């Protein structure tokens, strides 16, 4: 009777649980995919089966056999032990299978992650740009082949090292950069998208790198590091510095030259002028820059100046004399040497020499020569007159 009642209540419970569907709380705890659900499916039959077995054996043994309670308990214990052993073996098989399946899934996921990591590293290693990632402490967590090549080090020698202690020259600037880095990680300041800095290689060589920077964030949006891509501009920087030094030297030569200097655009506008011409003309440099040559030319009209420029463009260069007007309105003589340069949209390079003194000397010389010629002419006339008088007296 008790067994029948228990079975009836069991069936009623199963019916009520099933009525809630597979998503219901009790059903999910028994028929779900979780480990607890799997264990429930194993141990619930054990408990229920033990109760039913106890009831059945008790009725069967008491009806067909005359056994005392001790023997009944012993038989029950053996039966339950056998059932438990069976269930435990089944549980071990279930749990072992689940663990094996979980391990296989983990291995597949791990292999997939390794593949993705190797693929990403392969992409990083193919670019001719330094790629480096730093964690919140400024330690290197990723660096590509180009970065290792620049630093003349292996990846294993750089990973985990402090970027600011190992890869940058030890100076006050580096200490300031590290302080700024910590403020960026703390979210106190916004990082520069582009920056430029020196790095130091394993052999002590300094290289100039221009960086493009981005923050690394976790799923919650918290800053966890910095990713930077850098291009080595050392040779370009050296070329620029050499060019700048050459241009500075060129400017110094022009500024200290005895001759005046102009740089004109194709319309005849002054782009550059030296101090010598400033002294010649009486204008300062700010006044001259932006002036047109027709503002200074005293011999040619604006149209004649334009025609002259076209002639020089066609021939490439010319040397000629002209006259320029000073700021005070006075005029001085100049000897001009012009060269047309077609590069960069076209320019006229002009050197000017003040020949006022030379012209004056030439005038004085011409005057003296004229006087000498006049004197010689008068002397000849005098000799001629003397000869005529002598002949007249002898007549």
Length of the chain: 395
- Topology of the domain comprising 128-238: Beta-Lactamase (3.30.450)
Query: For residue 219, with 0-12 CB atoms within 10 Å meaning exposed, 13-18 middle and 19 or more buried, which class applies?
Result: exposed
**Residues 6 or more apart in contact with residue 172 via CB below 8 angstroms:** none
With a CB cutoff of 8 Å and minimum separation 6, the contacts of 95 are 35, 38, 39
273's enclosing H/E stretch is strand 270-273
Pairwise CA distance, residues 267 & 278, whole Å: 21
CA distance 49 to 39: 15
Give residues with Cβ within 8 angstroms of 121, minimum separation 6: 144
Strand partners, 269: 292
Instruction: Spell out where 56-139 has E strands.
Output: 130-135
Distance CA 181, CA 216 (A): 13
- The domain defined by 255-359 folds into Beta-Lactamase (3.30.450)
Summarised one tens digit per residue, pLDDT across range 144-188 is 888 998 999 999 999 999 999 999 999 998 999 999 999 999 988
User: Taking the complete model, does pTM exceed 0.85, yes or no?
Assistant: no
> In the prediction, which pLDDT does 363 show?
78
In 10 A of CB 230, how many CB atoms?
23
Phi-psi region of 293 (alpha: psi -120 to 50; beta: other; left: phi over 0): alpha
**pLDDT reported for residue 31:** 61
Task: Tell me the DSSP string of 339-357.
Answer: EEE-GGG-EEEEEEEE-HH
- 22: helix, coil or strand? coil
pLDDT in tens, 337-377: 999 998 878 999 999 999 988 888 777 777 777 777 777 66
Q: Which of helix, strand or coil describes residue 11?
A: helix
Q: State which H helix or E strand residue 135 sits in.
A: strand 130-135
Query: Looking at residue 189, what is its pLDDT?
Result: 86
- The whole-number pLDDT of residue 126 equals 63
User: What is the model's pLDDT at position 87?
Assistant: 64
Low-confidence ranges of the chain (pLDDT < 50): 1-2, 16, 20
pLDDT for res 299: 92
pLDDT, residue 264, reads: 94
């Amino acid at each position: 009777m008790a067994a029948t009642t228990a079975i009836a209540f069991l069936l009623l419970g199963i019916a009520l649980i099933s009525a809630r569907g597979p998503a219901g709380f009790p059903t999910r705890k028994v028929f779900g995919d979780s480990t607890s659900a799997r264990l429930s499916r194993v141990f619930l039959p054990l408990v229920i089966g033990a109760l039913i077995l106890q009831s059945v054996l008790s009725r069967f043994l008491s009806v067909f056999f005359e056994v005392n309670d001790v023997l009944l308990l012993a038989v029950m214990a053996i039966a339950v032990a056998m059932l438990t052993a069976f269930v435990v073996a089944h549980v071990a098989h279930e749990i072992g299978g689940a663990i094996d399946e979980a391990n296989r899934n983990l291995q597949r996921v791990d292999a997939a992650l390794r593949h993705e990591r190797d693929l990403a590293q392969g992409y990083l290693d193919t670019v001719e740009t330094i790629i480096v990632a730093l964690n919140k402490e400024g330690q290197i967590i990723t660096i590509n082949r180009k970065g290792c090549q620049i630093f003349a080090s292996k990846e294993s020698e750089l990973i985990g090292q402090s970027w600011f202690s190992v890869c940058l020259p030890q100076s006050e600037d580096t200490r300031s950069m590290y302080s700024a880095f910590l403020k960026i990680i703390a979210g106190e300041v916004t990082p520069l998208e582009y920056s430029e800095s020196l790095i130091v290689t394993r052999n002590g060589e300094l290289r100039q790198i221009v960086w493009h920077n981005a923050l690394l964030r976790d799923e919650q949006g918290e800053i966890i590091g910095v990713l930077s891509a850098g291009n080595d501009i050392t040779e370009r920087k050296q070329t620029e510095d050499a060019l700048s030094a050459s241009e500075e030297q060129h400017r110094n030569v022009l500024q200290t030259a005895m001759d005046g200097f102009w740089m004109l655009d194709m319309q005849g506008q002054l782009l550059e002028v030296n101090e010598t011409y400033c002294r010649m003309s009486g204008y300062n440099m700010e006044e001259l820059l932006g002036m047109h040559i027709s503002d200074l030319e005293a011999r040619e009209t604006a149209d004649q100046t334009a025609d002259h420029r076209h002639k020089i463009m066609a021939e490439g260069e010319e040397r000629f004399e002209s006259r320029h007007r000073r700021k005070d309105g006075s005029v001085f003589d100049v000897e001009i040497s012009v060269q047309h340069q077609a590069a960069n949209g076209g320019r006229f390079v002009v050197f000017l020499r003040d020949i006022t003194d030379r012209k004056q000397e030439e005038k004085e010389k011409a005057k003296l020569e004229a006087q000498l010629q006049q004197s010689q002419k008068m002397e000849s006339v005098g000799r001629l007159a003397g000869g005529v008088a002598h002949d007249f007296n002898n007549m």
